[in-house]
Structure 1
Amino acid sequence: MREIEAKYRVGDIEALLAALKQRGLEFSDPVRQDDQAYAQPGWDYGMPKTGSVFARLRTQDGRHTFTVKRPLSNEMECVEHETPVADRDQMHAAVMEMGFRPTVRITKTRRTATTAGMTLCLDEVEHAGYFLEVEMTVDDDRDGADAQAHLDTFVQELGIHTERTTDTYDSLIRAATTG
């Protein structure tokens, strides 16, 4: 499976909510996500992410999920594998044993909505601000850049001010807290 997304910094949350409500969309109740990001051995910030493997250990509502992503043509198009895990501490130890290293802890509050094969995530990311992720999961060979252009068109048609970013949350948080 591939996850293809486009991400936007959002300044006016109420305008976004109103634009989506006008289209008949409403976000779910908020959930808190606690993510630990990991990088493969040999990768460090400043190096390209495409082709490297990254892991994430997420806790949400007392449940833990382990995810591995490998960016393809850009950081917003990834091969993704995900599975529930019973014990976060043991999974963390296993990831460390495989040589991965923890990079950034990402805590956010997320609300979601779905429409036309897309998932919309409104995230309040600690240390980084508010973001809208629009994503699709595909199992075909469609062009990632074309899919991202489709997602971008959807966001532009909302008619609200957003700022598109190609950075992942770990990079955004790292930049906000170290520089």
Structure 2
Amino acid sequence: MTVRVLVADDQALVRAGLCGIVATTGDQSVVGQAATGAQAMEVAGLTQPDVVLMDVRMLEMDGLEATWRITASGLARVVMLTIFDLGEYVYVTLRGGAGGFLLKDAPPQDLLTAIRVVAAGEALPPRHPAADLRLRRLRDRARTAGTDPDRPGSVQRRDRPPPAHRPGNGQNPRVC
């Protein structure tokens, strides 16, 4: 079975590179590209990908909001990509429905593995100490409240990711 991939990044050169990496496999193919979160939602609706490779920061609608909308509607699973090594992004993307989070400096093989894992319905474990700590605390609080966050449906999902998903002053500069 071929995994259908949508690549969403505001930088054309990065999109081309990601498409090239996916093209090196025999079990994955790129079915579409998008330069904004809004385009990613539109193209996902048209192409029905299995996995969306989504940049965190994009104009018009950032990748975090687009991820929440895509996963909430059941259009596709999402692997978030960014150059920013911030635990806050890891936490927010996973709480927002993403199946995985990778830094853009990850080896190509890690990207291909992430696509396969997320397409299979599994989640990539976070590889950031700050996100690991926040997820552990969330699990502890949920268990104290009598719910099991690791069992689907036992914890109500938020309507959207927390609003404080941008580090710094809340500006969203045109940086990937």
Between Structure 1 and Structure 2, the one with more helix by share is 2
**TM-score range for the pair, normalised by the shorter chain length:** under 0.3
Between Structure 1 and Structure 2, the one with more strand by share is 1
Q: Please report the TM-score for the alignment, with normalisation by the length of structure 1.
A: 0.27
- Flag the structure with larger Rg: 1
